[in-house]
Structures are given as structure tokens and as C-alpha cells.
Amino acid sequence: MKALGLEQISQVINQLPENPRLIVSGNFSTPLALVNALDSQLPEYRLNILNAQVGLPNRPGVHYETAFVGPGMRGSERLAYFPARLSLLPRLIKTHTLPDLVVLHTSTPRNGFVSLGSEVNILPAAIESARKHGALVIAQANANMPYTFGDAEISLTDIDYIFDVDAPLLVKELIEPTEVASHIGLRIAEKIKDGSTLQLGIGAIPDAVLGELRTRTGLRVWTEMFSDGVLGLRDSGALDTEQDMVASFVFGSQELYDWINLNPQIRMRRTEVTNSSGNIAQQPQMMSINAALQVDLFDQANSSRVNSRIYSGFGGATDFIIGALNARGGLAFMALPSWHAKTDSSTIIPKLIEPVTSFQHSYVVTEHGAALCAGESQEQQARNIITFAAHPNARDELTNAAHDLGIF
């Protein structure tokens, strides 16, 4: 491992092939100082980041790649989207999208290790792929990155270069749930019992659910990610303090980052562990909570595309839905508002025309109610979705469409 300053960046550039692929820490953990330094000397390259945030280099010659589109790449004409469940992405990195350079955002060294801190995800697989195929690994070591345990700890022997910075971490602004999100959160929370295990997705609805769970006890966490909602569970005593909280990445406030720093109860695991449907199915009363853009009368969800263009991706929703449905006492919730205000249209539609992201959920939940789907016949699923989840203004039209589709 060699220390690296701005003036030595060319040492890394000179070892890369033309148009190299850079696999970079994603979400709110992207090492922007290092990425910008590399960008200044690379005329053309492929930038592979999960859920990229705004502020990335954006110019001709920078080609985006991802399996989950974030706001920093959304709508770009230079985007290559790789459809993949998150659980399968580590395999893709080792067989198809091989890195030429892995760019990490880590803590400062501690006892011969650095920690990936708030973002583990697919990075261990990327490091392994780099080591196997002769690629480089470079770390932006930041004094402000929390030191977390589990698969987050990376030996300095696995890093070729280290680039020191002292920069604040990106934080996610706290947004109060809307009235609709609060109603949905309440309807889901009513079905979550003491001692349940939670998957906490991204967005207003999962945050609203957590806000309603503070009176529960013995709650466990096995999730792809969590944010500030867990702090409310901690403060209210709702968490099972004898169980580790397992996640693959974290983003939120500075208070959240301070809490996970050197916290032995937080175990950051690689994607292959957190998103294994087999591991998820072993969690007691596993509650999978995910959001959709549209749901149809066949209980199929579109969570990924708008007007056929990729908006996000599969993420880990399908991994957790399958795992939860196989868990003892598990439930898989698919949540969404019943009406889209901007288009003035129902989000419950007769039949998806967009590619299906997931299907077969326990409940489809809107602000109007929770429609039971698991274990119901196709006809009864549709009747439940219309009666309990659809907006009242759409129910007659959906009923007529169900007849036309031969459901009723």
C-alpha cells in the first residue's frame, strides 16, 4: 500500500488500459475528491456506481454504468444499465463487468485495516475481482468516515494506493412523511408484531412505517440498508439489543454516522450475505417493505421504469420478497400511493405495460387499505386490490378492466 497525493495520480492513470472501468463506492459514500482527481487526467472511462448521487463528473468521455440508477445518472444518454438483482451483482462483477480500478471511500487506517464504513454492498466482490484479474484498488481514506465492523473491514494489504482526505460525508436530508405516506405507514405497521425482523427500504413510506413501530418490542433488523428511522426505534427501546443489526449500506444524518462508528452491534455485511434469499428466510417474522410506481390486478409491480425508460432498477426488493415469503411468519409488503398527482391517474392499473420488477406479494398497501394477495386466487387478488388498495375514483374502471381481461 502506497500513500498517494494529487501530484501522484498519474502513477495510477499510467497503469490503466484505454477506457478503463472504475467501480466506485456508491450511494452517499462516493469518494468525490478522488473521483474528480482521476477524472481530471482520464480522457475517457466507464464509471460504475450504484445509486449515484448528483455531483459526479458529467462530460463527453465519461460513460456511466450501473445496476441501480440514482439521480446522478438518471436520464443520461451515456448510461449503460445492467439489469440485475442486487444479490446477483457480485457474480456479474466477477464474470462480466470486471473492474480495471476499484475506488473506495474508507475510514483512516486502524490496526492494519480500513473500514468501508457506511457502504459495503458489492465492494468486497469488486476488490476480489480486482485481485484476481490484476486490477488496482485505491482508497480515499477519510477521517470522517465511520469505522464499522463485519465485511466492512478491509486489510491494507488489499489496497494498492491510499489517498488521504478530511471531508464531510454526504448526508440525506430528513423529510417529514406526507399525509398519504403516513397513512400507508400506519396500515403496514398494524400488521407488524413484536419480535419481527425488518427490511427497511429507501423512501418516505419505509420511514413512515418505522415511525409507527416505536411502541413495539424486540424488533430485529436484517436489511439491505437503513437510515435515520432506526434512531427512533433505538430511542424508544423497540430494538432487540441482544441481536446485531445487519445491513449492507447506510445513509442518513451525521447523527446516524456517529452512532454506527465503532458500534459492535452494527454488522455491515456484503451483498451476497444480506441479500441471500436463503439467509433472509431464516429471519423470524421477516417483514419486507418495498415501494412501487405501479401495481396491476395480477399483483405485478413496476418499481423500475417510467415510460419504458429505466428510473431505478431491481435493487434488493426481489431478494427480500422471496426471502420474506419463505420465512416463518414472514410478510412482503408492496406499498404505493393509490393516485399519481402529477399525471392525475391511478397507480393501480389493469395490466402492466412496463417490465415487471416483482410479483407475488403478501399485501399491496396504499393509503386506502391493505389488499391481501398471498394465498388468494387470481380473481380474489384482483377483487382485494380493487376494493382495498385502489383509489375510489379508479375502482369502477378497474372492475370493468378485470372483466375484459377474463379475471372476473
pLDDT in tens, 202-251: 678 888 999 999 999 999 999 999 999 999 999 999 999 999 999 999 99
Catalytic (active-site) positions = 224
Alpha carbons 251 and 117: distance in angstroms, whole number: 10
Confidence of residue 293 (pLDDT cuts 50, 70, 90): very high
**Count of domains forming the chain:** 2
Using CB atoms within 10 Å of the CB of residue 328, give its burial: 0 to 12 exposed, 13 to 18 middle, 19+ buried: exposed
Confidence of residue 200 (pLDDT cuts 50, 70, 90): confident
- How high is the mean pLDDT of the chain? 96
- Contact in structure between 20 and 44 (CB atoms under 8 Å): no
If asked whether residues 22 and 160 sit together in one domain, one would say yes
CATH value at residue 83: 3.40.1080.10
CA angle 220, 225, 229 (to 5 degrees): 65
Specify the pLDDT at position 177. 85
Does a structural domain hold residue 39?
A: yes
- Mean local confidence (pLDDT), 310-338: 96
Specify the pLDDT at position 28. 95
If asked whether residues 133 and 37 sit together in one domain, one would say yes
Confidence of residue 107 (pLDDT cuts 50, 70, 90): very high
If asked whether residues 139 and 45 sit together in one domain, one would say yes
**Which single residue is written with the C-alpha cell 425508460?**
309
Of 50, 70, 66, 133, nearest in space to 98 by CA: 133
**One-letter amino acid for residue 208 of the chain:** A
Does a structural domain hold residue 174?
A: no
- 375 pLDDT more than 80: yes
The structure's pTM equals: 0.95
Does a structural domain hold residue 171?
A: no
Q: Residue 4 — φ and ψ, nearest 5°? A: -135, 135
Range of the domain at 15: 2-165
If asked whether residues 116 and 232 sit together in one domain, one would say no
Does a structural domain hold residue 86?
A: yes
- 6 pLDDT more than 90: no
- 99 pLDDT more than 80: yes
Confidence of residue 383 (pLDDT cuts 50, 70, 90): very high
- Mean local confidence (pLDDT), 137-143: 98
Does a structural domain hold residue 90?
A: yes
Q: Which of 140, 165, 190 is the last residue of a domain?
A: 165
